[in-house]
Amino acid sequence: MIENFRIMIIGWFYYGILFIIGSIVVTALLNRVFNKLYIPPLIVNAVSVILLFIGLKLNMKNPGYALYFNYIPTVAASVTYNFIIFIVRKLQKRTDVKC
């Protein structure tokens, strides 16, 4: 099971790297529009689900490939990016000295 997980992660960075980069860019742009950090990953997730269902309606040959190598890395990158921003903001608030 660990070996399968390792292969999946390697596949994410080999096949899904453009989707991951695109997700981070879109999330960064959406962060400029919205104040709440949880909204951009929800938008990215919604668009990804819509595209996944459109692919299923168009009789995509391998929906498992699209799920594991396009959808999951895209959403995971968006969530991870905003989680890192959240942690950095919390750490900056702790280090600021208020007089």
DSSP state of 98: P
Tell me the pLDDT tens digit for each residue of 58-96. Answer: 887 777 777 777 788 888 899 999 999 999 989 888 776
pTM of full prediction above 0.85? no
DSSP-derived secondary structure for 30-77: HHHH-SSTTHHHHHHHHHHHHHHHHHHHTT-S-HHHHIIIIIHHHHHH
Tell me the pLDDT tens digit for each residue of 44-59. Answer: 999 988 888 888 888 8
CA distance 55 to 70: 12
User: Which residue ranges make up each domain of the chain?
Assistant: 1-93
